[in-house]
Structure formats: C-alpha cells, structure tokens
Amino acid sequence: MCTNPQSPLLTTLVNTLRDATVPSFVFRHTIKEITKLLLNEALKDMPTRAKKIATWQGEMEVECIDESSIMVVSVLRAALPMHEAVIETVNNAVSGFLGIKRDEKTHQSKLYYDRAGDCSGKTVIVVDTMVATGGSVCDAIDIVKQKGAKTIKTLHVIGSPEGIKQIEERYGDVEIFIAQIDRGLDENKYIIPGLGDAGDRAYNTF
Ligand code: PRP
Ligand code: URA
C-alpha cells in the first residue's frame, strides 16, 4: 500500500530539492524536514503505552510510543539525512545501515555493507531517498524480512511509478510513504524530473 500525502508544505519542500543551485546543507536539511512529515504519517497507527514521568507538578502518567520497538534502517548514502531525522524524532529507535549501490551500467543494485542487526519483533522503517527501479529498496526489504522484521514501513522523498509498482507487487504487506511520485525514468534509470544523483548532491561527491 502506498501513501502519498499531499500538502502545500510538502510540495514546497520537494521543489526546494529540485532547485539545482541549493547547497548541500540545504539539500540535507530539506530531506530531513520532509522525512519528519512522512514519519508522522507512518507512525499514526503505532500503539502508545502508559509511562510515568516526573513533571513540574510531580509524577504524571502519560501515553508514549514504545520507541525501542522501532528500528530505522537506511540505504546509504542519500538516506543518511532521513536516518538522522527519524532518530532525532524517535530518540530511542534502534539503527541499522545497509550499503546498497546501483551499478552504473546495468542499474542493478548490489549490497556492499550490512550493519543492520536483528529485526525480530520490530517495526522497521526503511528509509531510501529515491525509488527509481525500486531495486535498492526491495533488496533492503528482503534483508530486514530475513532478519525477522514484524512490520515494515518505507519512507521516500521521490519515486517513479514503476519503482513503486515493483515494491507493491513484491510485498503486499509493506506500507510505502512517499512525498512525490514523478513522471518516470530516463534511459539511465534516473527519475524524471527527479533530483539528479541524490547522494552526490547531499554530500558534494561529484
Ligand atoms: C540511489 C538512491 C537509491 C537508489 C535508487 O543510490 O539513493 O538508494 O539509487 O535506485 P533504484 O531504485 O533504481 O535502486 P545510489 O545507488 O546512487 O548510491 P549512492 O547514494 O551511494 O550514490
Ligand atoms: N538514484 C538517484 O540518486 N537519483 C535517481 O534519479 C535515480 C537513482
């Protein structure tokens, strides 16, 4: 299931990223702001539980998400700002990192680094800035499933219709949250109009 929340604020933030003249720190910051808006959508069905806290008026029982039941797994590199946004918001979430890179000629994704631990019983939030062919995020989903994820939600800034279709067809049980679905892919499997190479733009590695 794919949720594509629409709002003037989200549209404006995505269009800030489309401006090729924005510096990398604005690019990363804007990705973080978009991620927090998507995260709010993704966590709407999370159960809360009572916890006692010390307030200025003494002890009080309040309802909070069980943050330790949440694991965020990012697909390097462009998703690193998304990862930061999730753990800034859900402070006690567990982190995992997957290095997945597309081959420039074949466009096939390849895992080169796995630093994601046991996902058993966790609500796993996979963050991957771009869904082009969908290969990278599908690899990430396969890995967290093998590691025992209970529930999987994915967050993305921009995707192509074919990439989204690929995730939906392969995983009926994964919830996708995406800020913008663009027109399609070019002959190099880049999203059109898209952002260009999001990892390079986020970290000035041209
Ligand atoms: C980009 C992007 C996604 C992937 C999407 O990463 O961050 O992870 O491509 O493409 P796909 O849907 O066709 O798999 P890239 O492979 O460029 O790695 P990088 O961020 O390290 O440059
Ligand atoms: N990776 C990117 O960073 N951008 C695209 O458009 C496709 C893959």
H-helix or E-strand containing 116? none
Could you give the CA distance from residue 128 to residue 37 in angstroms, rounded to a whole number?
15
Domain interval for residue 83: 2-203
Which one of 14, 31, 82, 189 would you pick to mutate in the ligand 2 pocket, going by the greatest count of ligand atoms within 8 A of its CB? 189
For residue 156, what are the β-bridge partners? 178
Region 87-105: mean pLDDT is 96
Report the pLDDT value the prediction gives residue 206, as an integer from 0 to 100: 80
List the alpha helices (DSSP H) in 43-160.
80-89, 135-146
Region 79-92: mean pLDDT is 97
Joined together, the tokens standing for residue 23 give 């510096």
The answer, yes or no, to whether residue 29 has pLDDT greater than 90, is yes
**Helix and strand counts by DSSP (H, E) for the chain:** 6, 12
Place of tokens 């999730």: 86
Domain count of the chain?
Answer: 1
CA of 104 to the centre of ligand 2 (A): 11
Query: What confidence tier does 66 reach under pLDDT thresholds 50, 70, 90?
Result: very high
Report the pLDDT value the prediction gives residue 124, as an integer from 0 to 100: 98
> Closest Cα partner for 79 from 116, 44, 131?
131
Could you identify the atom of ligand 2 that is nearest to the CA of residue 185?
Answer: 6
Region 174-197: mean pLDDT is 98
Classify burial at 168, counting beta carbons within 10 Å of its beta carbon; exposed 0-12, middle 13-18, buried 19 or more: middle
Could you give the CA distance from residue 65 to residue 70 in angstroms, rounded to a whole number?
9
* Ligand 1 within 6 A of CB of 135: yes
Report the pLDDT value the prediction gives residue 21, as an integer from 0 to 100: 97
> Closest Cα partner for 201 from 15, 21, 13?
21
Could you identify the atom of ligand 1 that is nearest to the CA of residue 131?
Answer: 12
Query: What confidence tier does 76 reach under pLDDT thresholds 50, 70, 90?
Result: very high
Give nearest CA residue, ligand 1 atom 21.
77
Joined together, the tokens standing for residue 114 give 């796995």
* Ligand 1 within 6 A of CB of 153: no
For residue 56, give the CATH number of its domain: 3.40.50.2020
> Closest Cα partner for 102 from 125, 62, 134, 149?
134
The answer, yes or no, to whether residue 98 has pLDDT greater than 90, is yes
Report the pLDDT value the prediction gives residue 107, as an integer from 0 to 100: 96
The answer, yes or no, to whether residue 156 has pLDDT greater than 90, is yes
